[in-house]
Amino acid sequence: MEYSHDTISAISTPIGIGGISVLRVSGDKAINIVSKIFKSKTDLKDQPSHKAIFGRILDADKLVDEIIVTVFKAPHSYTGEDVVEISCHGSTFITNQILAILLRDTRLAEPGEFTQRAFLNDKIGLTQAEAVGDLLTARTRISHLAALQQYEGSLRSRIEKLLAQLTDFRTQLELEIDFLEQDLDELDNNNLINGLSTLHQELIYLAKTGEEGLIIKDGLKVSLVGAPNVGKSSIFNSILETERAIVTPIPGTTRDYLEEVISLNGYLVRVFDTAGLREATDQIEKIGIKRSYEIIEDSHKVLFVIDGDENIKEYDILTKLVDKNKIIKVLNKSDKFEKSELQIFKDKGYIACSTLEGSGLDDLKSSLLHNIEISEEELHLGILTNTRQIAAVNKAALSVSKALESIRNGMGYEFTAFDLKESSTALEEIIGKVTSDDILNNIFANFCIGK
């Protein structure tokens, strides 16, 4: 990727009124450019790195604001270049005025360009750069911890260990190919197959962590499904502990879907109250039900809610949309049933709850995270957190599988070595050793401009 040596600037704090705003300038000319408009007792160019200094921003000798400037000299800065950070009063007008002055001699940074320069200057790896974006959007304890671990290099270390194993296997194969006629110990096929089989399983396991990683990052999607008036909206409100949904005794109140986000045991959970599985009576309702079907199909868990009638027809429709393992069966209004009746439903796999009495809701919430929770030890080892990483690991696993097939079929070590090279390349893409410009642009385009 071609590196731009322009000096760039941008506002790094959210636009709005606050105590302070921060502007960032990065590039070879950053210190000189800021020093032209910054006045203090000491010349900014003489300031040591990582020191803050008080002064004033002047525009044609007119005071703009009193500010604090911090200088970070290359290579000991976030981007690896000279960086100047300006802390001014948190007025939108003042902040934009200072930015306008800076833009006379700098270029406005592209989204994520500061972090992109940090990557290109070898200050951080690609997985760490992605973790910066995850830290900016982290909304729960677990998503914050996962992003921190990735930023600390957990995933990079895990990938590098896998690459080291691949390199060892490739070295053995290359020696066998290049020095076949010389008196060297013959490569043991069984040991090679066992070693590659273990590596393949490690890759498959790593790819599966991506499923949980995406849930940590984007949230667990949970849909409530059931016949009209069984109390889906009441359960929705009880889970949220708010009155977000309109609860009435009229069937079909939820004509579209409602969505809310909660933190459950540190996990982000997106709860959808759907319009239900039924025939629509008008065009507007048809649109709402169509959207509900799409959300249900895309959900990680589905709460199938009844209030006594099992509604086999509706359940059959649901099992055609999602895997049965994703469905959690819920008996609402359990306060209306005798103990013997409740036991019958429990034997059929239903969680009995009553929004009126508040019973069973803890069991319901616990069931949402069943088989989802990741231990902190697993996060320390490093997990995948986006589709790019998952696709690369799956590609690496497929290549190792092909390598195993070539050995078992006696196709020659040249084919095996080629497949293992393909596997290495896929893993190298994850940590940025081999990465196309398009991939880099897509990663950093999702960042805010000031980062």
Give 209-221 pLDDT, tens digit per residue.
998 899 998 899 9
pLDDT at 284: 62
The yes-or-no verdict on residue 412 having pLDDT over 90 is: no
pTM: 0.79
Top pLDDT among 425 and 447 is at 425
Same domain membership, residue 156 and residue 75: no
Q: In sequence order, what are the residues at sequence separation of 6 or more whose Cβ sits closer than 8 angstroms to the Cβ of residue 97?
A: 59, 64, 65
The model's pLDDT over 370-405, given as tens digits with 9 standing for 90+, comes to 887 778 888 899 999 999 999 999 999 999 999 999
- Residues constituting the chain: 451
Same domain membership, residue 108 and residue 149: no
- CA gap 108, 185 in Å, rounded: 61
Same domain membership, residue 49 and residue 130: no
Q: Which of 61, 95, 124 is the last residue of a domain?
A: 124
Other CB atoms within a 10 A radius of the CB of residue 82 amount to 23
Same domain membership, residue 95 and residue 167: no
Closest Cα to residue 436, out of 126, 161, 157?
126
pLDDT at 243: 53
Structural domain range at position 328? 126-431
The yes-or-no verdict on residue 94 having pLDDT over 80 is: yes
Reading the block at residue 283, the tokens are: 């065009």
Question: Between vectors from CA 377 to CA 374 and to CA 381, what angle results, nearest 5°?
Answer: 100
What CATH number is given to the structural domain containing 152? 3.40.50.300
